[in-house]
Structure 1
Amino acid sequence: MVGARDWAAGAAVAYAVGRALGGWHWLLDAPLLKTLLARKALFDAVGEVGAALRAGDLPAARRLTAWHLVSRDTAQLSAAEIAGAAIESLAENLSDSVVAPLLAYRAGGLPLAALYRYANTADAMWGYRTPELEHAGKVAARTDDLLNLAPARLTAVCALLATPLAGLSGAVAHRAWRRDARTTDSPNAGHPMSAFAGALGIRLTKRGQYALNAGGRDPEPGDVDRALRLARWTLALAVPALLIGGRRA
């Protein structure tokens, strides 16, 4: 896995060389920008969980979800909760791992995209509430929240626009988003997650914390594949919007 320091160092070198190359800077930007995105890893991880659920292998699905996607204890989660956790992680990380770094690149090139990934990685590493990491975790979490305000909402809007393309209900998705986007502890995660919940017609829950689209049904293994289809359509709208006509030398 590429570390945050590697991203920052690579972006700094690319910026210096790119300045020398002038209008040809995109030759360096494209491969380095790709290292700041985690689309394939995210889709593969969610797909593995879906495959384990379809095979009826709940222990494997729990293990894969805990290993790749969530920090919560998955040992006692039901199949519906595991499917829901995978879909939640897909929706949230679609913003954090793809849309947000692309938006940062659009605004400030590779250095800003690398800075975003550094902040996002720091939040993932230090954002847990332990005595040793309390101060660093709070700073990292607040920084990450601020940097994701726009990307999370852009991801949700693109998901809403993508629902008919994915053969899903845009009207229900919009209602769920307007009603539930602010019910999570995070000021950002609820936006794409509630849009996905409504589009899929399912209830996404985290025990004792929230229920998104509470009137929906429990998630099923097939919903993971439907969520992946919606995610692909969401990116099909978001990526061109962020890159076409974007940065110039």
Structure 2
Amino acid sequence: MSSVQTTSRDLGVRAAGIAIGVLADAVFGDPRRGHPVAVFGAWAGRLEQRLYRPTRARGALYAALGAGLPTLGAAGLDRCCTGRPVARAGLTALATWTALGGTSLAREGARMATALENGRTPQARELLTHLCARDPSRLEPPELARATVESLAENTSDAVVAPLFWAAVAGPAGVIGYRAVNTLDAMVGYRSERYEQFGWAAARVDDVVNLLPSRLTAVLTVASAPVVRGSSARAWAVWRRDRNRHPSPNAGQCEASAAGALGVRLGGTNVYGGEVESRPVMGGDERLPGIADVRRAVRLGQCVGALAAVVCAGAVVVAAAVAGRGQKGGAA
């Protein structure tokens, strides 16, 4: 059997696995107990205790081991499934389901909307901690709504589009490696006295692996604007104008496009771990997000996730078809 034929078949299996993983997330969401990401996080926490020194070198070692070992493990399992398409599709589906968080993200957004609609500000403050690291203790409903819209926009990339992108590009190893990197960044990648140096490598690697997915998220957000009664033209204009105003090279892509799609203004003053950050505004002279915009942001994220699943799985199907035609042409 030629290598081209094997590639065509393997790509078809990968596409099937991605589709099954997306369906599993839609039906079941994240496991309530024993989530593999939580298990990984506990292991990574113990690894940090062993390796921690306030230096970039130790942080680089931590990032290499923390992301490299799960990636190698997933690649090894994938290789063991060679010649067994059902097992390989199942592994891809399991890895994709493990990494996806779209259903849970939408649920958290809907819970936040309900809390704000019913005037339950203390509950909304607690719910915000499920979405981001921002200090919610003094936030009132308008700022809670803004924080939620911004978090939903960014997390749609991190928890939905990026896992699908890396599953399409590199199968189980790609999606597991991505989730490992993203989790390490969430654990040590923010600037604090403890992690300023140690977390540098994890944060930079996370920036790199999200460069393309964040921009894909932005394009899909622009396309999804009409679903939330927005303008794709306006979303495109705001994204092009404001995408590089955010301190993150990737979060700004998602937040700027979401601001344009929803017709709201994002950015401003945020508090993280007692540190105050003032961020440039995205969305220009648009209004501040209201409580109703939280539900619109949930719908926007769901549409972006659905489009991402179609685009990523579809791209793998097209690649399989092209590889198959190449094999037939070579045989002729």
- TM above 0.5, one fold? yes
TM-aligned CA deviation for residue 164 of structure 1: 1.9
Q: Residue 143 of structure 1 is aligned with which of 160, 182, 205?
A: 205
Structure 1 residue 145 displacement after superposition: 0.4
Tell me the equivalent position of 2:13.
none
Deviation at 1:43, TM superposition (A): 1.1
The structure-2 alpha-carbon separation of the partners of 1:24 and 1:2, relative to structure 1 and needing over 3 Å to count, comes to: closer
Cα drift, residue 144 of structure 1: 0.3
Gaps of 5+ in 2: 1-34, 44-66, 270-277, 324-332
SS at match of 2:82: helix
3-state SS of the aligned residue for 1:244? helix
Match of 2:144 among 79, 82, 85: 82
CA distance in 1, matches of 2:165, 2:104: 19
Task: Map Cα deviations across residues 50-103 of structure 1 (whole Å, 9 max, x no partner).
Answer: 1110111112111110x2011121112221111111111111111111111111
Which residue does the alignment assign to 1:57? 120
Q: Alignment partner of 2:199: what SS?
A: helix
Q: Say whether residues 1:101 and 2:171 are aligned partners.
A: no
1:220 corresponds in structure 2 to: 290
The answer for the alignment partner of 1:155 in structure 2 is 217
**Matched residue SS, 2:240:** helix
Structure 1 residue 245, shift from structure 2 partner = 4.7
* Partner amino acid, structure 2, of 1:246: V
> Percent of aligned positions with the same letter in both sequences?
38
Distance 1:126 1:56 in 2: 34
Which residue of structure 2 lines up, in the alignment, with residue 44 of structure 1?
107
Contact 1:83 1:224 in 2 (8 A): yes
Report the CA distance shift for 1:38/1:119 in structure 2 as closer, same or farther (over 3 A): same
Residue in structure 2 matching 1:33, options 96, 111, 126 = 96
- Say whether the 8 Å CA contact 2:149–2:297 is kept in structure 1: yes
In the TM superposition, what is the alpha-carbon distance from 1:20 to its structure 2 partner?
A: 4.1
State the partner residue of 2:229: 167
CA distance in 2, matches of 1:165, 1:134: 41
CA drift at 1:14: 3.8
In 1, distance between residues paired with 2:163 and 2:266? 26
Query: What 5-or-longer segments of structure 1 have no aligned partner?
Result: none
Per the alignment, in what secondary structure is the counterpart of residue 205 of structure 1?
coil
2:81 paired residue number? 18
Write the distance in 2 (CA, Å) between the matches of 1:220 and 1:86.
11
Instruction: State the AA in 2 paired with 1:97.
Output: A
Please give the residue correspondences for 1:188-227 in structure 2 after superposition, counting only pairs within 5 Å: 188-207=250-269, 208-227=278-297
Rounded to whole Å, the distance in 2 between the matches of 1:122 and 1:86 is 22
State which drifts further: 8-17 or 230-239: 8-17
Aligned partners of 1:102 and 1:239 also within 8 Å = yes
The equivalent of 1:68 in structure 2 is 130
Q: Which has the larger radius of gyration?
A: 2
The whole-number CA distance in structure 2 between the counterparts of 1:96 and 1:154 is: 12
Residue type of the alignment partner of 2:196: E
Equivalent pairs, count: 248
- Cα distance, 1:12 vs structure 2: 4.4
**Deviation for aligned residue 1:181:** 0.6
**Cα distance in 1 between the residues matched to 2:118 and 2:230:** 25
Secondary structure of 1:164's match?
A: helix
Contact in 1 for aligned 2:221/2:258 (Cα 8 Å): yes
Aligned to 1:2: 36
- Give the Cα separation in 2 of the matches to 1:236 and 1:45: 18
Whichever residue aligns with residue 224 of structure 1, its letter is V
8 Å Cα contact 2:246/2:252 also seen in 1: yes
d(CA) in 1 for partners of 2:163 and 2:113?
26
Moved more, 238-247 or 31-40: 238-247
Contact 1:81 1:205 in 2 (8 A): no
In 2, Cα distance between the equivalents of 1:162 and 1:127? 31
In 1, the alpha carbon distance for the partners of 2:101 and 2:282 equals 25
What is the Cα deviation at residue 22 of structure 1?
Answer: 4.1
Distance 1:125 1:205, change over 3 A: same
- The AA in structure 2 aligned to 1:171 is A
